[in-house]
Structure formats: C-alpha cells, structure tokens
Structure 1
C-alpha cells in the first residue's frame, strides 16, 4: 500500500475539460444527456461477442456500428447479426487500425480490460469498457494516466448506476428526501459461479478463482453513484471451504465469498457483500438509510421496493412501550426507460434492470456533446479500487486498510 500511494503521489493529476478532478468526481451528474438534436454520427467498434452483443448501439440515432471483433468466428457472426454490421476483424489490434472508428466498446474478459483500454486510448479511440476497470491498483493508475495524457473519453459500463431502482434513489437524493444518509449496504450474490470456472473443454476461464472483491462495482456503485461519497478505509473478511475448485487458480484466492466494511469520506459506514457460493438467492441490491427517509431494494422472494419515512406518529413496540412509529410503505419504481431520458428508438427494457440502453445513450451522448460521461474515469476507479484493497484486507484477516484516492490533483 505504501508503495502504491508513493507511486500515486508522484503522478501529476490534471483536470479534464476544465473541470477539477475532485469536483467532477464528488458531484456526479444526476441527469442524463439531452435527447439528441445533432446529426453527428459516432462510428463505433464493438470488441467481445459475449456481453458485447447485449447493447443497443445500432438503435441510437447518433451512432453507427462500423465494425466488430472477437477472436472466435461464431461470436463475430453474432455481433455482425446483432448490430447489422458487415465489417469484422479477427482481433482488437486489427480493429484499432481502422481510421473510421472513433470509439470502441470493450467487452473482453476482466483481466484484459486495463491492457485493452490503454491500447485503445493510445490508438486514439474513445473507450466504453465493461466492469471492472482494472484488477490491480497499478492498473488503475496506468489507465488514469493514459486517459489524462490522451484527453480522450473513458466510461465504464456499470449497470448498477442505471438500474431503475438506482435512478429512483438518485432522484430521491437530489431532491433531499433522504435527509442525511448515515449508513448504506449493498450485496451482489451470484451463486453457482463455479460452473463458469472452466470451459466445455475443461480449460480454465478468467473467472477461475476470481476474488469476489475484485469484481466489486455491482455493489460499490449503489452508494457512490447516488451520493458521490468516496470509500476511504476498509476491513474485510473472506470465506472459503478448501474446495479443490479453488486450488491453483491464477489469483491465489482462497475465498468464495467476501464481506467488506467500508468507511466513507463523510464518516459513514457502508457494508458490501460479494458472494459466489452458498444457499443464496441471486441478487444485486442496495439499501440507503437516512434520518428522514430510507429506501430498500427487494429482499429475497419479496419483490417490493420499500420506503420508510419518519412520521409524527406514536405507536407501541412489542413490549408495550410508546415510541415514534415510522411509516413503511411499498414503492413502485417507475420504468424510467419508458421516458424521454432516452431517444425514442431506445425506450424499451434491456439487460440488467433496463440499464443497457442508458449506458449506450450516456456514452454516445457524451461524445456528441463533448462532455464527461457520468461514469467517467474517476467514478470508475472509485467503484473499482476499494474492492481491490478489500480483498487484500481479507487476505490479512480483516486488517484495517486505507484506500488510495484517484481523485486528488497531486
């Protein structure tokens, strides 16, 4: 950690687009871009025919999918069919040589993200990248340095930020309905992940032994995207069962599940869980607790969102003592994808609770209007780096550790 922080201190952080990095990161945008009124077309290349085929660039009025790429022929064909594109390349390296391509969407395996992002930026392409941004703190710093040096746009495709429930939470926060948020929690449960550890030929995939907290963004974004807080310290614990499936993994990770207890720059606690195995229901959920109102994602079989409001009402607890009684009521989350937040051709449901169309629009609109996207490089590293440190804490039996900041101008 000391070595990393010393390295970061030596770097010269600059402002982007005339806006200081700290201000940009702590005050993220809460509204989406205007519905396009420009006829500019952004020519995009799509790299990665798995996750990369689940977005909607071909529907955006300001976008043309110029070319696609994947190492596998079958996935290249899927991408061409999805995006109605006739041009394909056998590799990222070949695609980056195409002078018509202005921006790329990188949907390659997580351990490749930093290398592919840096190569794309150096080739003069704006970048949208799948999560997480990086696997190490060194990679975080290298990506940031490259973004700043090139002056190009970087956005991370974090789906949590654009879930319908999180859009509602951002609106509540902007309107001051929470009052002061004094604690929060989030969890990402993906039981059964071991089935993805090896391909159908028995070859290990990049997911083999992936530390849960090295894939933290589906949890950390629940708080950071809403309030702009930064996670400054962490103590984390991991659970493993000495399973042979975890043996000899490239990450040397002994854990199936990890729980982190973060402290924010506002002094608030934030509990995060990422779980790969156990008697769990799949979940991506968050909780925000305020002194005026709290908001809870559905829990388990209960599919209702819950709002709790402070009220001037006297009730009785189980022991018969009088106390103030809060109002607890279900909340029907609006389908924000049906609204004019999106261009008309994109007003339909999409992957990860309607988030994929929003991610597509936010990236393209940021380029058309020459502005920073909501999940810019500073936001992306604020979601990613805390998990990397949390895993190191878990390996050290919960040691309390400081999380380096990638926001400050040194």
Structure 2
C-alpha cells in the first residue's frame, strides 16, 4: 500500500485541486495520511499570493524533506502557484523529486505511472482542465472550481503569471461535478475560481451556473467565493435575492477605498461604484453578509489615502474585513513603484482595520439578532454541548445539544457567543 500525504496552501481553488490530485489515485492501493506522518509520497500544493505564503510553502517542503531523510525511498512532489512562479528556488533546496506546473498538477498520478514529464508554461494554456472529484480532503463542504486564470494584471498581483489566462469549465461539467458531490453526501457547494466572475461557457455566465445547480435535488446550499466588484451584475444580485439555495453572502475583492490608490493598483472601478453596488445589495437583500478584501500599505499610500479607505469602510454596512499588508511580488508593476510603505506603518494600518472589522462583525451580528433573521447551515461538529455550523450568512452558529452531523438546520440567533452566535433551532 502506498501512503500519500498532501499539504495545501492558499485558496479554495487549491483545495479543490488537491482533492482532484488525490482522486487520480482512486483504484490504486493507496492510503491518505496526515502530512506529519511517514509516507511514501509527499505532495505540497503551494501558494504565492504573498511573500508569507512563499515562506510557508518552503517550510512545508522542508518538512517533507525531513521526512524523506527518514525514508529515502519516499518521493517529494511540489506543485501549485509558488512552484509555477519559482521552480528554480525549489530546485535549489535540493532533494525534491518532481516540480509540477499548475496545468499538469491534476495528472500527477499519470506522470508517476508513466515516468515522463516536462515542466510547462502556464501562459500557453487555453483550455480549462477538469478532473472529477468525489470527496474533499478534510472539508465538510465541497469546494468546486469552475474557472481558472485571470487577465486583469493588477499592479500588485502575481497570480495571473502563476495561473495563466482566463478559462472556464463547460456548464455540463460543472453540473456533473456538482451532482457527483451531492451523490457523495455533500449538501453545500462553494463555487470558486481565480476570478470567478469571469466565468463564461458560451452565453452561460455565473447566474446560469447558479440556476443549473439550484435544480440539483439534494443540494441544499450554494455559496460563492470571492468576486471582483465590477463583475457583480444585476443578474447576480437577482440570483442572491431570489435563489432559495444561494447563501446571502458575498466576499468582494475591494482592495482599497481610495480612488487614487485604486488607480495606481490598476483596478477597474472607483469608490462611487462601490457605494452604488453596496446600496443595491443592501436594498435587495437587507441581511446580506458583505465582506471585503483590503490591502494596506500599497506603494505610495499616504496617511490621507489610508484614512479615505478607513472612512469608506466605516460608512458601509459590511460584516467583516480580510486585511492584507501589501507584499512586494517580483515582476509586478507595483514592485518597482516608489515610496514603498514601511513594515511598521503597514502593521499599524492593519491593526486599525482589524479593529474596525471586529466592530463591524459585532454590529452585524447584533443586527441579525435584533431582526430575528433565519440562519441556515450544515451541522459540522459537536463542541462543549453544542452543535456548530457555518451559516448561510457566514456566521458561526452554536446550537444547543448534539444534532445530527451533516443535517441542514435553521435557527434564529439569540445572542453573541464566542466567535459567532447562539442559535435557537426552529421546530
């Protein structure tokens, strides 16, 4: 029996691809084991969105190499976005048996079986690579990749160079994969991609995907991963408003609340459009959970520009923020821009927005409690006399007692509790 250990960094797209990698070994005599246990094959699916994720990727590679030192017959394979962007750095570490490009990662089992492989240029890839997945690795909800690549080339971002050009799955494959997940017992699917809003299959866009998945019997919740604000169309808003299975939650890649910074970033909208979008979403779905990605310390960001961002975020009815310090990525436009912000100043600004995020989440939870908003979710775990679930409004709910894991429950929030809310189950 071959023991396989796989470690995944980064986004939901990577999580889906790791499951697809493992799935390619189906039918073989294999056992998936924790990454820190002895194994015959170590696979690291890396990320390169920031310098920190590069560092984490290298750390995981070193851990695998330490395990290999105890078992010289073991193999170490590195793939993912860091591997795509920096294969030379990985090779220089020594001891890695195979570095696999992003397009070929889903064929690792075949590569090992056939023994021939040549590292490819992701920028030459034009077709979406689909491999069916029946189960995720250590996840209670299914992450489903339906789009890959990005052609926006924002000034700070290295991902287009690691993922290649925009490309999408066929709608028929999307539906087939979703049905496979449901047949495997999953009741919630998170739709993801590198730039999800760019999904296209002929005339079919994201709203058509949502409608097609609504028709799948047994699928109870559909969740969207991060979207670019300019790609949130009226059709998507209508889907959120009318779709009974679609979670009232959007995670929006805002990045800055200052027009001059957005311009330097190469973003395709301004703060006026953001206000209009949030107004539309809030008026259409009053209880919607809106989360924003925000980058602090982009080159040249002055205190006044940062304050514009803080004021905008403070004024908007958002539920939470994901705050990132700007990270210089090689071969991007922003890496050569003047007036780089110091690490100390970036940390200070991160702390300010983190405090704002905490306050916004508290206000959002209290609003849902006061309005007695129904929350739905799939029961995930038992903890200290409660059953926990991640609700459709992206809040952790704690339900009294030990309810059946995997069941869909509806509750009304009664008070804040730990990192979420206590819920009263509706009979």
TM bracket, shorter-chain basis:
under 0.3
TM-score calculated relative to the size of structure 2: 0.27
Q: Which has the higher contact order (CA 8 A, sep 6+)?
A: 1
TM-score calculated relative to the size of structure 1: 0.27
